[in-house]
Amino acid sequence: MVAASGADARKTIHPLFIRVTHWVNAFAIFVMVLSGWRIYNASPPFGFEFPAGFTLGGWLAGALAWHFAAMWLLALNGFAYLAYGLVSGHFRRSFLPISLRGALHDVLVACRGQLDHAPGRYNAAQRLLYIGVILAVIIAILSGLAIWKPVQLQALTALMGGYETARRVHFFAMAAIVAFLIVHIGLAVSVKGMLAPMFTGRAEAPR
């Protein structure tokens, strides 16, 4: 029985700051993606539309209002998260070292259902995914600014390949984020003991 040692003995694997910014970010991304799909539908650059039922805003003006309100939440929360991660050493401890070979190995092992998931420690595949999605969000924000202000921020728009290319960069950044979310949410709900610590911060008692 480990119950005697009590809850205090359980290790905090997700600090409060990370938990708060994680869920604020989850809400902001949810709003940005669903309102973004509605904005996309107003003039789709690719040959398909998102089902209206899976979008946010009701019509273009509503979707834009959501998008340009939630962008502040996404950017400010993301900035706080990055600052905390860099200053506190969270990124260094959790994301380094990065190893492509290690990530490939871990993915193969995970596909056979044999990956050991130690609470509080990211495997090589996780590290690569988390760094990847952080970069995707940064690219989404930068390409979004390039579309929003192609005159005032024209150097950034030029860096993104011009207005029309920036629209497509913005789309693919969204696609990368959504692809990450499918894997991330899929694993979070299917691997035992992964979801609760993101609320409580504590790893489940060892069994």
Partner 1 sequence: MKPPRLVSLRGVRPQIARIERRLFLKQGLSLGALSLLSGCTLKDDDAVDRLLFAMSRFNDRVQAALFDPAQLAPTYSEADVTTPFPFNAYYEEKDIPRIDGEDYRLRLSGLVADKRPWSLSELRALPQSSQITRLVCVEGWSAIGKWRGVALRHFLERIGADLTARYVGFKCADKYYSSIDMPSALHPQTLLALDFTDAKYGYPLRLRLPTKLGFKNSKFIGEIFVTNDYPGGYWEDKGYNWFSGS
The answer to whether the beta carbons of residues 168 and 146 sit under 8 Å apart is: no
Smallest separation (angstroms) from partner 1 to the CB of 36: 11
State which of positions 78-117 bind partner 1 (CB under 8 A): none
Smallest separation (angstroms) from partner 1 to the CB of 118: 42
- Smaller CB separation from partner 1, 40 or 81: 40
Q: Which of 150, 159, 194, 201 binds partner 1 (CB under 8 A)?
A: 150
DSSP 9: G
The answer to whether the beta carbons of residues 73 and 26 sit under 8 Å apart is: no
DSSP 195: S
DSSP 116: -
Q: Which residues pair with 12 in a beta bridge?
A: 202
Smallest separation (angstroms) from partner 1 to the CB of 31: 11
- Smaller CB separation from partner 1, 45 or 120: 45
Q: Which residues pair with 177 in a beta bridge?
A: none
- Smaller CB separation from partner 1, 52 or 98: 52
The answer to whether the beta carbons of residues 131 and 98 sit under 8 Å apart is: yes
- Smaller CB separation from partner 1, 88 or 154: 154
Smallest separation (angstroms) from partner 1 to the CB of 179: 22
Q: Which of 12, 27, 76, 164 binds partner 1 (CB under 8 A)?
A: 164
Q: Measured between alpha carbons, how far is 77 from 155 in angstroms, rounded to an integer?
A: 25
Site string for partner 1, 33-72 (x = CB under 8 A): ------xx-xx-x----------xxxxxxxxxxx-xx--x
* AA letter at 104: L
Q: Measured between alpha carbons, how far is 179 from 158 in angstroms, rounded to an integer?
A: 27
Q: Is 189 among the residues that bind partner 1 (CB under 8 A)?
A: no
Per-position b or e across 128-162, b if 16+ CB within 10 A of its CB: bbbeebbebbebbbbbbbbbbebeebeebbeebee
Residues that bind partner 1 (CB under 8 A): 39-40, 42-43, 45, 56-66, 68-69, 72, 147, 149-152, 154, 163-164, 167
